[in-house]
Structure 1
Amino acid sequence: MKIYKQITLEMIQKDIRYLELLSHSFPTIASASTEIINLEAIMNLPKGTEHFLADLHGEYEAFQHVLRNASGAIKRKVNEIFGNTLRESEKKEICTLIYYPEQKLQLVKDVETDIVDWYVITLNQLVKICQNVSSKYTRSKVRKALPEEFSYIIQELLHESSMEPNKQAYINVIISTIIDTHRADDFIVAMCNLIQQLTIDSLHILGDIFDRGPGPHIIMDTLCNYHNFDIQWGNHDILWMGAASGNDCSIANVLRLAMRYGNLSALEDGYGINLLPLATFAMETYADDPCKCFTPKIDKAVSPYNDKTIRLIAQMHKAISIIQFKLEAEIIRRRPEFEMEDRLLLHHIDFERKVITLDGQEYALRDGLFPTIDPADPYKLTDEERDIVQKLHHSFTGSEKLRKHMKCLFRYGCMYNVCNSNLLFHASMPLNEDGSLKEVDILGKKYKGKALLSRVGELIRTAYFAENDNEEKAFALDYVWYLWCGKNSPAFDKSKMATFERYFLTDKETHKEVKGFYYTLRDREDICDMIMDEFGVEGEHRHIINGHVPVKAVKGEKPIKANGKLMVIDGGFSKAYQPETGIAGYTLVYHSRGFQLVQHEPFTSTQKAIEEGLDIKSTTQIVEMSSKRMMVKDTDKGRELSIQINDLKKLLVAYRTGTIKEKSL
C-alpha cells in the first residue's frame, strides 16, 4: 500500500497528540477515508473567481452594482448560456432581474399580463444560470450558500437534468408548485442572490472605502454581510479608524473632508454624529465671512443643498479646518520624532498684512480672516473650540454604528495580504533612492518592509483596542494620525500633506506633495521582485496589486506596470477623480484561466439600472492567461487541503496499525 510507504510509525508517534484530537472528528477508517476522497475531489475543481477593487471612496451605488453584476461576468454568462435563443432585450431583462430582484419583480408585475407564464419561463432561465455558476463548486459548498427555506428545492433543481424526459416532468411540477403556493417571488429573489454570490468566490478591497462619496456607511453595511472578503487598509480607512479610536486630529480631518465634499449624510444619518455644536459655532464665528475658499466641491445641479445650506457647510468647513491645524500642532510638538515641524504654519502668518512667509518667500493669503486665532499663541484652541472638540470626540467614540463597522474593518482587514501569489497593499512600500527598503524609526526601533507593515498594523489595533490609557496607547493614537499624513507612512509616503497651502495659497508650486521613491521605482521588475521576496510571495506568476494613486487612463497611463508584475487598480470610483482618470474604476478579476482587468464607465444610477436596464459599460482586457486551467490544488487553499489530506492519511495508518483505536459511533 502506497500510503504505508509514505508514512512511517515514527511520523505517527511524533504527531500522536494531534492525531488523537483529529480522531474525534473522524472516529473511523470509513469517515477518514470519505473525507480524503472529498478533499481530493475539491483539489481538482477550478479555482474560485477573485475580484479586486480599490478606492471606493463612498460611491456605494457604483460599488453595489459592480458586486451585483460581478463586473460584467453575469452578463457574459447569460450571453454564453442563451446565445441567440433570446433577444438582446430579453437577456437584458434577465440580467436586471438578477442584479435587483425585489425592485425588478415589482416593475414586472405592474406590466405583465400573464404573470404565471412569466414565472415559469423566468424560473427555468434562472435554474440554467445557477447550474452554470455553481458548476465549479462542490455540492457541499453550494449547499452552504443556499437560503435555508429553499435549500432542498434549489438542490433538486440544480442537480437534475431537464434533458431526461422523466426528470423534466419532475422539474415542471416543482416549478408549478412554487408558483401555486405563491412563493415564486421569494424563490426568484433567493435564486438571484445565489447567482450573485456564486459568481464572485472572494472579494479583495484594497483600501479607501471612506471619504469623498456619499455612502461609505452603506458600503460597510454591504461588506459586513458579504460572504467572503478581506480589506487592506488605506489611508482614508486608517483616518476613520483613528477617529473611532478617539484621536481628535483624525476626527477633525474626517469632518473637514466631509465638509469639503458636502457629504454630511454619512456622518449624521450614517453614524449619528451630532454636528449641531459645530454648525452653531461656525454660524456665529464666521457670520460675516464669505468663506469662499471653503465652498464645498459639489455639483449644484444634483445637490440636495440650497444656497443657504451650502454657505453653512462652508462656514463649518472653515471652522473645523482651523481647529484641525491647531490640534495637529499639539501632536507635532508632542512627537518631535515625527519630524513634521514644517507643518506648523500658523505662526508664519502676518495677520495684519494677510501674508505668510514660507522658505523665505512671502505669499498673499486668499483668505485672511482668522477670528479664532490669537497671533501671540496661534495654536491655542479657544474655549469654545475645545468644547466642540470634546463633544465631537464623545459623538465619534459613542457611535454604535461606527463601532460595528470598525470591528468589521479590524476583523477582515490588515495592512497587507498575500493571497495566491499576489501581494496586496493599498499604497506604498517606503524605499530609499537606490531601491532598498527604507528603515523607519518607531519608538526607537527600526522597521522596514514586511516588519514595518506588521508593526503599523499592531499600532492601529493598539490605538483602538487597548483599554489602559498608558504611554503605548497614547503613542499609538498619535501614530494613527501620522499614518494619514506622515512622510514615512506606508499608507501615504509623500513629503507633506499640503492642506493649508491648497486652501490659502494660489501658487500651485506650494501645493506639491513629492511622492516617495516607491511610486517611481515600482515600474521596475527588479524592485517588484525584491519586495515580493521580502514578503515571501512565491509562484511562477506573482504580482503586487495596489490602489491609492489614480491611474490617468485619459492621458494614456496604463494600470499594468513592471512588465505585468505590478497592477494599480485605482481607476476613479470616486467621482471627484473621474475627470482626472477619464474612467470610473477598475475591477481586477482572477479566475481559473488567468487575470482580466475590467475598466468601468461612470454609473448612471440604481434607479435607471432597474427601470431601463442600464448596466455599467465595461471594457475587459486580458492581463495574463495561463496555458493550463488553475485548479484549487494550485492555490493557497489547495496547500491547506494538502496538509489536511496528509494528516488524515496519517490517521488512517494509525487506525490500521492499531496505534489509535477506532471509536464506536
Structure 2
Amino acid sequence: MRDLAYLRLLAREYPNVQAASSEIINLMAIRGLPKGTEYFFSDLHGEYEAFVHLLRSASGIIREKISETFGYVISDEDEIALANLIYYPERGLRAAKRENRFTEDWQRITIYRLVCICKEVSSKYTRSKVRKKMPPAFAYIIDELIHVDYSDENKKVYYDEIIRSIIDSEMGAEFIEALCNLIQNLTIDNLHIIGDIFDRGPRADIIMEELMKFHDVDIQWGNHDISWMGAATGNLACICNVLRIAIRYNCFDLLEDGYGINLRPLSMFAARVYRDDACEHFMPKILDENIYDAVDPGLAAKMHKAIAVIQFKVEGQIIKRHPEYNMEDRLHLTRINFEKGTVTIKGKEYPLTDKKLPTVDPKDPLKLTKEEEELIHNLCMSFKHSVNLQRHIRFVYSHGAMYKCCNSNLLYHGCIPMKENGDFDEIKFNGIIYSGKRMLDYIEDAVKMAYFLPDDDTSKEWYKDLMWYLWCGPKSPVYGKDNMATFEGYFVADKAAAKENMNPYYKLSTKEEFCDKILREFGLPVEGSHIINGHVPVKLKDGESPIKGNGKLFVIDGGLAKSYQPKTGIAGYTLIFNSRHLALAEHKPFDPKHENTPKVTIVEKMKKRIMVADTDTGRELAAKIEDLKELMAAYRGGILKEKLG
C-alpha cells in the first residue's frame, strides 16, 4: 500500500470507488488516442506579425485541413477566405459587415464550414478534452453540432434549428469567432519555443502576450532571452545590451510602449554628449517603423553610441571581477592608444574608425562618469519596476528551462559545449567542474538564483554577473562562440578583427555518432530520438539543410527575423510532430496582403502510429492509473472511508 498521506490527498478528488474507477476508464481511453500535434518554433526575435500568423494558421496546417475537408466543393478563393477568417476572426467579421456580406445565408454557410473543420481537428481528442477547450457560453451548442448525426433526419432538423436560433438571436458573429478560436486551439496541442523570443524584431512583448494565452507552451532559453532575463534582475551590462540592440533595430515601441522604459534621460544625455558627433557607425537599422514612439535616426544614433560605450565599460568591470571567465581579451577600452587612435586586438593593432570617445578616461577607461552612473541607475530602476516586463520574464522563468526532454526529443537553443576531440567541454564554477548535462543543470539553477534570490543576499550579484556571461561567454551553451565581436563591429573596419569561431559542437553534431553521444548524455534512447536545436540560421540559399546527423538533429532557425532573411533565403522553419510523422514547414517572408502558406515536407514517418500511451503524458497517466487502483484498494479494504451520495 502506498503512502496513506498521499492517498488521503487523492481521496479529496476521488471520494469513492465509483469516482476513482470512472477516472481510470477516462485515463485509459485517453491513452488509446493518437498523440497530439507538437509544434516547434525557434528564434522568433520579436517578429510578432509573422509569428502570430504562423501560430494562428498552425504553419499552414489549417489551410491543409480546409482543402482535405472540402476538396473541390469550394473554390480556392473561398478556401483562402475561410482560412483567413479562422486566423483573424475579428478582422474577417468586420470586413464581412463593412462589405454587406454578413447576411443570414453567409452566416449559415460559414458556421456549417467551421463546424466541419472543428470535427476534423477534434477527431483525435476525447469529447471531454474538446469540451474543456470550448468557450463556456457556447460549449453545449458546439458539442451538439460537431457530434450531429446527419443520417438522422430528425437530428438534421434539430441542427438547422440551432443555427437558425443563433442567427435570429444576433449571436452569429460571436459564435463564428468562438468556432475560429476553437479550431486554432485544437490544431496545436503543445507549443515548444526553442529560444530567442527577444531582440531585433519590433515587438517581442506582443509575442509574449500571445504565448501567455496559449494553453500548453514551454520555452528553452536562448542567449537573447537570458540577456533580457538578466536585465530584469538589474544586471547593468544586460540592461545596456538589450537597450543597445533595441535602439540599433529601431525598436522604440517595444521599450517605451511595450515596457514603459523611460528613455528620455538617455536621449538627453546622448544629445548633449554627442552633439557634435554624427555617430555614422551607429545609425539604426530601420526594418520596421515605430507607431507610438518615432525617434529621429540622428538622435537614435547618438543614443545607440552612448549606451554602447556604457555597455563596454560595465562589461569590462564584470570581466575584471571574474578572472575565471577568461575574457580579458575583450577589455578593448583598456587597449586603445588614444594618441595614435588605434586599438590592439589579440596582439594586432587596428586603426579606430571612430575616435570620438568623450566619456572614456584614458587613465581609467572602464570608469563611468558621474552622469553615466546616474543614467544607468535610472535605467536600472525603470527595468526593475516595469510591471509588464517583470510579468513576461516571470512567465519565461515559469515555463522555461535550459533544455527539455519530451517524447524522445531533446530540445535546447544553442549547443552542448564540446572539445575538438568530441569530449564534452568543461567549465568551473566556484571550484567545481561541470560538463554536458550537469553543466546545463547547474546553469539552470544559477539563472533562477539570479532572479529569485532576495536582493540582500550577498551571493546574488555573482549569479547576476553569470547572466551576462551566458549572453556572450566563450563556454556558454546558449551562445556557443569564442568571441562576441560587438566592439570590433563598431570601431574596426578590418573584418578579420571581428572573427567569431563556433564551438566544435556545430561541426561534430552534424555526425550521427556525436548526436547519439549527446542523446545518451541526457538519458534518451538513441533509436527514435532527435535533437531539436535553434540559434544558428540555416542558410538554405547556400545549400544548407536543417536536417543533420543522419536525421538525428533538426536545426530550425531559418531566419524568422527580417534581418536574417537575406542570408537564409527563407523566413524560418516550424517542426511539426504528429502521431504519424515529423514534418518541416518552410516559411516564406511574411506579407499581410498575400497568402503565404509555408511549404510542408514530411521528413520522417513513424514506424507505427504514436498513441498517447507511447508518450511522456501516457506514462504519467499510467502512473496515475496505478495510484487510483491503490486508492480503490484502500477503499475496498476499509483503510480509507468512502464518501457516498
Which TM-score applies when normalising by structure 2?
A: 0.97
Match of 1:239 among 227, 235, 252: 227
Match of 1:446 among 413, 433, 448: 433
Structure 1 counterpart of 2:475: 488
Q: Distance in 2 between matches of 1:623 and 1:448?
A: 32
Q: Distance in 2 between matches of 1:310 and 1:156?
A: 58
Q: Distance in 1 between matches of 2:32 and 2:630?
A: 22
Match of 2:124 among 127, 136, 141: 136
Aligned to 1:617, what secondary structure does the other structure show?
coil
Q: Is the 8 A contact 2:519 2:526 kept in 1?
A: no
Q: Distance in 1 between matches of 2:29 and 2:51?
A: 35
Structure 1 counterpart of 2:414: 427
Q: Distance in 2 between matches of 1:132 and 1:201?
A: 14
Match of 2:188 among 184, 194, 200: 200
Structure 1 counterpart of 2:366: 379
Match of 2:450 among 463, 480, 484: 463
Structure 2 counterpart of 1:4: none
CA gap of 1:359–1:230, structure 2 versus 1, over 3 A, is closer
CA gap of 1:319–1:138, structure 2 versus 1, over 3 A, is same
Residue 440 of structure 1 deviates from its aligned partner by 1.1
Aligned 1:69-468 pairs, distance under 5 A: 69-113=57-101, 115-299=103-287, 309-468=296-455
Residue 210 of structure 1 deviates from its aligned partner by 0.3
Aligned to 1:85, what secondary structure does the other structure show?
coil
Q: Does 1:530 align with 2:510?
A: no
Q: Deviations over 1:5-49 (max 9, x none)?
A: xxxxxxx3x544433443343233322222211111111101000
Q: Distance in 2 between matches of 1:660 and 1:226?
A: 39
Q: Distance in 1 between matches of 2:317 and 2:349?
A: 25
Q: Deviations over 1:502-528 (max 9, x none)?
A: 111111111111111111111121211
Which sections of structure 2, spanning at least 5 residues, go unmatched?
A: none
Query: Amino acid of the residue matched to residue 218 of structure 1?
Result: I
Q: Distance in 2 between matches of 1:16 and 1:374?
A: 69
Structure 2 counterpart of 1:621: 601
Aligned to 2:510, what secondary structure does the other structure show?
coil
Query: Amino acid of the residue matched to residue 573 of structure 1?
Result: L
CA gap of 1:647–1:360, structure 2 versus 1, over 3 A, is closer
Q: Distance in 2 between matches of 1:102 and 1:307?
A: 28
Query: Amino acid of the residue matched to residue 517 of structure 1?
Result: P
Query: Amino acid of the residue matched to residue 452 of structure 2?
Result: F
Q: Deviations over 1:261-304 (max 9, x none)?
A: 1111100110000000110111111111111111112249x677
Q: Distance in 2 between matches of 1:163 and 1:539?
A: 49
Query: Amino acid of the residue matched to residue 502 of structure 1?
Result: G
Structure 1 counterpart of 2:612: 632
CA gap of 1:142–1:305, structure 2 versus 1, over 3 A, is closer
Q: Distance in 2 between matches of 1:18 and 1:246?
A: 41
Aligned to 2:601, what secondary structure does the other structure show?
strand
Q: Distance in 1 between matches of 2:78 and 2:476?
A: 51
Q: Distance in 2 between matches of 1:282 and 1:88?
A: 54
Residue 357 of structure 1 deviates from its aligned partner by 2.3
Residue 547 of structure 1 deviates from its aligned partner by 0.2
Q: Deviations over 1:518-560 (max 9, x none)?
A: 1111112121111111111237310110100000111010000
**Number of matched residues?**
645
CA gap of 1:567–1:308, structure 2 versus 1, over 3 A, is closer
CA gap of 1:299–1:425, structure 2 versus 1, over 3 A, is closer
CA gap of 1:362–1:598, structure 2 versus 1, over 3 A, is same
What is the Cα-based RMSD across aligned positions, in Å? Answer: 1.7
Query: Amino acid of the residue matched to residue 100 of structure 1?
Result: Y
Report which stretch shifted further, 388-397 or 113-122. 113-122
Aligned to 2:245, what secondary structure does the other structure show?
helix
Q: Does 1:652 align with 2:639?
A: no
Query: Amino acid of the residue matched to residue 591 of structure 1?
Result: N
Report which stretch shifted further, 169-178 or 449-458. 449-458
Query: Amino acid of the residue matched to residue 465 of structure 2?
Result: D
Q: Distance in 2 between matches of 1:465 and 1:346?
A: 33
Aligned to 1:405, what secondary structure does the other structure show?
helix
Match of 1:601 among 588, 595, 599: 588
CA gap of 1:305–1:352, structure 2 versus 1, over 3 A, is farther
Aligned 1:58-73 pairs, distance under 5 A: 58-73=46-61
Which sections of structure 1, spanning at least 5 residues, go unmatched?
A: 1-11, 609-613
Q: Distance in 1 between matches of 2:33 and 2:363?
A: 72
Aligned to 1:57, what secondary structure does the other structure show?
coil
Q: Distance in 1 between matches of 2:143 and 2:306?
A: 59
Aligned to 2:108, what secondary structure does the other structure show?
helix
Matched residues, percent identical? 52
Q: Distance in 1 between matches of 2:562 and 2:151?
A: 49
Q: Does 1:507 align with 2:499?
A: no
Which TM-score applies when normalising by structure 1?
A: 0.94
CA gap of 1:51–1:113, structure 2 versus 1, over 3 A, is closer
Residue 400 of structure 1 deviates from its aligned partner by 0.4
Residue 355 of structure 1 deviates from its aligned partner by 1.5
Q: Is the 8 A contact 2:251 2:290 kept in 1?
A: no
Q: Deviations over 1:601-636 (max 9, x none)?
A: 10012xx2xxxxx23231111111013211000100
Q: Is the 8 A contact 2:520 2:526 kept in 1?
A: no
Aligned to 2:550, what secondary structure does the other structure show?
helix
Aligned to 1:603, what secondary structure does the other structure show?
coil
Aligned to 1:622, what secondary structure does the other structure show?
strand
Q: Distance in 2 between matches of 1:434 and 1:91?
A: 54
Q: Distance in 2 between matches of 1:358 and 1:48?
A: 52
Q: Deviations over 1:560-590 (max 9, x none)?
A: 0000111000010000000111000100000
Q: Does 1:38 align with 2:18?
A: no
Q: Deviations over 1:422-460 (max 9, x none)?
A: 010000101122111122111111111122111111111
Q: Does 1:559 align with 2:541?
A: no
Q: Distance in 2 between matches of 1:17 and 1:281?
A: 63
Report which stretch shifted further, 646-655 or 233-242. 646-655
Q: Distance in 2 between matches of 1:142 and 1:461?
A: 35
Residue 307 of structure 1 deviates from its aligned partner by 11
Q: Distance in 2 between matches of 1:461 and 1:117?
A: 56
CA gap of 1:527–1:409, structure 2 versus 1, over 3 A, is same
